[in-house]
Amino acid sequence: MCGIIAYIGYRPALPILLDGLKKLEYRGYDSAGFSVMGEKELVTVKRKGRISELEKAVDSSATASKIGIAHTRWATHGEPNEINAHPHLSCDGSIVIVHNGIIENYSVLKELLISEGHRFTSETDSEVIVHLIEKFYRGNLESAVVAALENVEGTYGLAVLHRSENKIVVARKGSPMVIGLGQNETIIASDAVAIVAHTKKVVYLNDNEIAVINGTECIVRKLDGSMITPEIQEIRWTAGQIEKRGFKHFMLKEIFEQPEAILNTLRGRIKDNRVKLSLSVDFDRVKRILLTACGTSWHSALIGKIYFEKYAGIPAEVDYASEFRYRQGIIDENVLVVVISQSGETADTLAALRKAKTAGAQVIGIVNAVGSTIAREVNSGIYLHAGPEIGVASTKAFVCQTMALLLLSLWFRQEKRLPVSDAFIERLFQIPAQIGKILEDAPQITRIASEYSQKQNALYLGRGISFPVALEGALKLKEISYIHAEGYPAAEMKHGPIALIDENMPVVFLATNGQVFDKVMSNMQEVKARRGIILTVTDRENKLLNDLSNHIFYVPETDEDLSPLLNVIPLQLLAYEIADQKGLNVDKPRNLAKSVTVE
Ligand code: M6R
């Protein structure tokens, strides 16, 4: 979703701003813009479309400035065009803002400001902020921003410039802002990805905090005026990790990073065949577990439910965060809520977490992005350590979330003094190498993909622990190839989707050796009888299976409970290959944002 980058220091701001915008591209956007200080006036340039369009529009009046703010916009209020793009200017052009988030009371404020003589140019909710600041400005930008924010309802990550003040004012409520502290320069962004090339020392602004930055000094206060001593944290990953390193797309790189990513999730968490997690959970109070998340993270939650019930013997349920937040669910101090999020910034998941805390539940987070809002608001949690995930379609986060949920359920099992077999732990450590083996067979998927890339629909079927994998495979395909795909429990097919099957319908089966293997083969017979095209992912050599399948992809054999970690890999590759063969923008699919920070 929208991205912010701002700079103040001794170097020309513009190249840093443009580079920062490119680093934020992966979040999804439809227009971009910047404001820098010209000789006397602020120079503002905005363009619809890619950042390359913005670069083309740069002229010499903008190049010397050492202070500026910039933005990538993902339209919510008002269509994607140059006028609605940020930055937004005050009527007299002296103040300029970039804003992430949503101002809920903007229409009331807009009416009021218009009646007071302010002239609006855009359809955005954000523009009310700059007019409010202009209304309250009496020679001190910080005070005007505070006064303006007292009037707004909603969420914001905000950066503001005034043409007569050599400083940037930054504020946050519900939308992340990170301040990177360099040597005599400060780089501010909505995502550390845009900062890490310049400095690894960062301050994560908290909700209701405002910072004033003048290049050498960063003063942080609460909006009520009380001073804060900001906690300086160190980013632990490198700029190199957000480069493609020879891969055609980030998604492909991230698929291939999965063996290492899983090892990083496991690292230090199993010793002497015992799971070691430092979590603050009052174990005796946990009578029920609720897992909540969105998208791919929700799919890993479905697998987590199976793990918790089987290994920890604790009833578990799964809820979409967007549903849970508005439902009158039964949550109290006896419930452990596990919130799962790659980005740690998803608005619905964050709201679900806050609701759970308010209801008195214990809360654990499973998060990838270190220092993200969810990571900071949970009582304790498990970081995935998967490294930055840039491709909009989540891949390595899914396998690492699944592994983290398994570790968590085994940890509960140990707490109950129930045994975890050494053989199972051994199999768990085989997973990274087994994923590596599947990745070696990627060319086989490339060949299969060419037969599916022109199809309009696809069905993904699996049972038990393979059902969430079917959902995830279908989500990957639809997200990046725009082919309509549905995941279904294989046995449910006969209750409806079977009507769709004909010679044009590809059906991807997850036929893993286990208690329902034969039953899944029966479902395959049903598809075959209706001339559907079958692609099977399996760990078992079987003549009938082979005869039923148009294509078959073998994965290494493992414990059935670990099979999602392997089965999902060919499905990720299949989606990737189909999208790439169709010439689509794999890393930045249309209409999607990497981190969904609005409702
Ligand atoms: O950052 P999160 O894990 O909270 O994101 C949740 C979903 O927005 C995300 O998984 C989305 O569905 C991805 N595009 C899936 O590939």
Calculate how far, in angstroms, residue 211's C-alpha sits from the geometric centre of ligand 1. 30
Assess whether the region 243-420 and the region 440-586 belong to the same CATH fold: yes
Calculate how far, in angstroms, residue 390's C-alpha sits from the geometric centre of ligand 1. 11
Percent of the chain at pLDDT above 70?
Answer: 100
Question: Does ligand 1 come within 6 angstroms of the Cβ of 295?
Answer: yes
End-to-end C-alpha distance for the chain, whole angstroms: 12
Residue of 78 and 578 predicted with greater confidence? 578
Compute the average pLDDT of residues 581-591. 93
Give the pLDDT score at 151.
97
**If you average pLDDT over every residue of the chain, what do you get?**
94
DSSP class per residue in 65-84: -SEEEEEEE--SSS-SSTTT
Calculate how far, in angstroms, residue 320's C-alpha sits from the geometric centre of ligand 1. 12
Q: Whose CA is nearest to atom 4 of ligand 1?
A: 341
Give the pLDDT score at 78.
83
Question: Does ligand 1 come within 6 angstroms of the Cβ of 572?
Answer: no
Q: Whose CA is nearest to atom 9 of ligand 1?
A: 295
Decide if 473 contacts 574 (C-beta within 8 A): yes
Tens digit of pLDDT for each residue in 411-453?
999 999 999 999 999 999 999 999 999 999 999 999 999 999 9
Q: Is the pLDDT of residue 341 over 90?
A: yes
Question: Does ligand 1 come within 6 angstroms of the Cβ of 87?
Answer: no
Question: Does ligand 1 come within 6 angstroms of the Cβ of 597?
Answer: no
Calculate how far, in angstroms, residue 477's C-alpha sits from the geometric centre of ligand 1. 14
Query: In ligand 1, which atom is closest to the CA atom of 596?
Result: 8
Give the pLDDT score at 245.
76
Tens digit of pLDDT for each residue in 138-154?
999 999 999 999 999 99
Bridge partners of 36? 43, 68
Tens digit of pLDDT for each residue in 164-188?
999 999 999 988 899 999 999 999 9
pTM listed for this prediction = 0.81
Compute the average pLDDT of residues 264-274. 92
Cβ-based burial of 400 (10 A; exposed 0-12, middle 13-18, buried ≥19): buried
Residues involved in catalysis: 2, 594
Tens digit of pLDDT for each residue in 473-518?
999 999 999 999 999 999 999 999 999 999 999 999 999 999 999 9
Distance from chain centroid for Cα 273? 32
- Cβ-based neighbour number of residue 548 at 10 Å: 19
Class of domain 243-420: alpha beta
Homologous superfamily (CATH) of 3-235 is Aminohydrolase, N-terminal nucleophile (Ntn) domain (3.60.20.10)
Q: Is the pLDDT of residue 243 over 80?
A: no
Q: Is the pLDDT of residue 239 over 80?
A: no
Tens digit of pLDDT for each residue in 275-319?
999 999 999 999 999 999 999 999 999 999 999 999 999 999 999
Question: Does ligand 1 come within 6 angstroms of the Cβ of 322?
Answer: no
190 contacts: CB under 8 Å, gap ≥ 6: 2, 3, 4, 5, 24, 100, 157, 175, 176, 177, 178
Residue of 292, 322, 342 to mutate, ligand 1, most atoms within 8 A of C-beta: 342
**Per-residue confidence at 394, pLDDT binned at 50, 70, 90?**
very high
- Cβ-based neighbour number of residue 136 at 10 Å: 18
Inter-CA distances, 418 with 21, 117, 413, 415, 562, Å: 51, 71, 5, 7, 19
Calculate how far, in angstroms, residue 404's C-alpha sits from the geometric centre of ligand 1. 17
CATH value of 440-586 in 3.40.50.10490, 3.40.50.2020, 1.10.760.10, 3.40.50.410: 3.40.50.10490
Q: Is the pLDDT of residue 215 over 80?
A: no
Calculate how far, in angstroms, residue 300's C-alpha sits from the geometric centre of ligand 1. 11
Query: In ligand 1, which atom is closest to the CA atom of 346?
Result: 4
Give the pLDDT score at 599.
78
Question: Does ligand 1 come within 6 angstroms of the Cβ of 294?
Answer: yes
Per-domain residue ranges of the chain: 3-235, 243-420, 440-586
Question: Does ligand 1 come within 6 angstroms of the Cβ of 346?
Answer: yes
* HEC sequence for 353-395: HHHHHHCCCEEEEEECCCCCHHHHHCCEEEECCCCCCCCCCCC
